[in-house]
Amino acid sequence: MMKRTRIALLAALALSVCAACSRPDRPTGTVTLSFSIGTPVTRAGGDPVADGSAIAVDAGAPDLVVLIADASGNVIATYPSADPDQTTLSFSDADPTRASVAFHQSALVAGSYSVYAFANTKGLWAMTDGTLDYTAATLVDISSKATLDALHFTPAAFDNQLLQSRMPLSAKGQLSVSENLNGEITLELLRCVAQVSVDFRNDYGSDLTLEDFAATFYHLNPDAGFVLPHTPDFPDFATDGDLAQAAASFAIPAGQTRNLSAFVLPGQAPDGGYYSCDIAFGLDKDGSGTIEPANGETFSYTELMIHDNKARGITSLARNQTLHILIRISKGQTVSFNFSVAEWTARTETVLFE
């Protein structure tokens, strides 16, 4: 039976060796991974889901995977574990927003460890270290820190519809355990992808219909991306590509905003340059379905510099960031553009536990 719980994005994952226990009672080599989770939203039908789509996983293959590697780079503890006595999953009856996984491996002694956490990777794309491919079900078979650090996505097709219902999340950090078996680490499960979001704001004063929207964002669609956080956050072997967005026609009521968004892997503009884009669209001002001088206008912009509010070119897009483009349509045939990059915090992700 699967228990469904939700982790609020950017929620802390606190790992601590059982420091509150007295020495005789403290189980040697026990590390507890605690989750602080978000409050779920109950939708029609009574099934609470965070984003409108439950994430289904096969029995025995939960979407949450945790690995702990020692200072020599060897993985010595995993969740889930082939031995059910090696890990314990528990939920707080008093506080439904708390859950924890305890590791009971005797190899967890005083020393330094690298901790890796993955969620929502099942069914998206294969992960590879450059030699072998891995899935969510085979992540626990990885035995070395070097393999984990090398993992990257190379999706054959970037399916934005699939990502509407689930986002791959990951985290990595260092845990130091003292001779007294005290230690604590805080991680953040962050999305492995970034978002490009375009908002059309109708400040024209009456309803508008936007026709034949087409945009090309240059160098914003790399073909590979790291699964775990890196510095820089994108592999040097990735080949960048252009992100194309298009829409035949959509209405924008007066005073409202229409959004188009896509997901991309982290990347950077080439040769120390900045991102740029081409944007074209037509405005039908009377709903006639035609764009004539009397009732509409066609707009076309090429090689627009994507810049921040200080006119500095935006040169990179990291995991869990949103590149937001606001296109404001006002009276007097005025169209203005505003670009910004910010942390992407407006969504709660769903993670299933076995």
Work out the percent of the chain whose per-residue pLDDT is above 70.
Answer: 66
pLDDT digits (tens, 9 = 90+) for 134-179: 887 788 899 999 999 999 987 765 655 555 556 778 889 888 887 8
Give the closest residue to 352 by CA, choosing from 165, 84, 193, 95.
165
Structural element, H or E, at residue 161? helix 160-163
Other C-beta atoms within 10 Å of 344: how many?
A: 22
Rounded distance between C-alpha atoms, residue 82 and residue 71, angstroms:
23
pLDDT recorded at residue 217: 94
pLDDT recorded at residue 72: 95
Between 237 and 354, name the one with better pLDDT.
237
Checking if the pLDDT of 25 tops 50, the result is no
Give the closest residue to 53 by CA, choosing from 151, 166, 132.
166
pLDDT digits (tens, 9 = 90+) for 63-74: 678 899 999 999
| Residue with the two structure tokens 């994005």 | 9
| Residue with the two structure tokens 């400040």 | 203
Q: What residue type is assigned to position 304 of the chain?
A: L
- Compute the average pLDDT of residues 182-190: 71
Rounded distance between C-alpha atoms, residue 224 and residue 154, angstroms:
5
Other C-beta atoms within 10 Å of 195: how many?
A: 21
Q: Which pTM was predicted?
A: 0.78
Name which of 97-106, 230-239, 258-267 the model is least confident about.
97-106
Rounded distance between C-alpha atoms, residue 267 and residue 47, angstroms:
37
| Residue with the two structure tokens 């294969």 | 126
Q: Which two tokens stand for residue 17?
A: 């060796």
Checking if the pLDDT of 354 tops 70, the result is no
Alpha carbon 56 to chain centroid distance?
Answer: 18
With bands split at pLDDT 50, 70 and 90, how would you rate the model's confidence at 48? very low
Other C-beta atoms within 10 Å of 18: how many?
A: 18
Q: What is the mean pLDDT of the chain?
A: 75
- Compute the average pLDDT of residues 102-114: 83
Phi, psi values for residue 32, rounded to 5°? -110, 125
Task: Decide: helix, strand or coil at residue 223.
Answer: coil
**Fold topology of 194-343:** Immunoglobulin-like (2.60.40)
pLDDT recorded at residue 69: 94
| Residue with the two structure tokens 């509010």 | 309
* Comma-separated ranges of CATH 2.60.40 domains in the chain: 194-343
Q: Where would I find the H helices in the chain?
A: 145-150, 160-163
With bands split at pLDDT 50, 70 and 90, how would you rate the model's confidence at 327? very high
Rounded distance between C-alpha atoms, residue 144 and residue 74, angstroms:
5
- Compute the average pLDDT of residues 52-65: 44
Q: How many residues does the chain have?
A: 354
Checking if the pLDDT of 10 tops 50, the result is no
With bands split at pLDDT 50, 70 and 90, how would you rate the model's confidence at 306? very high
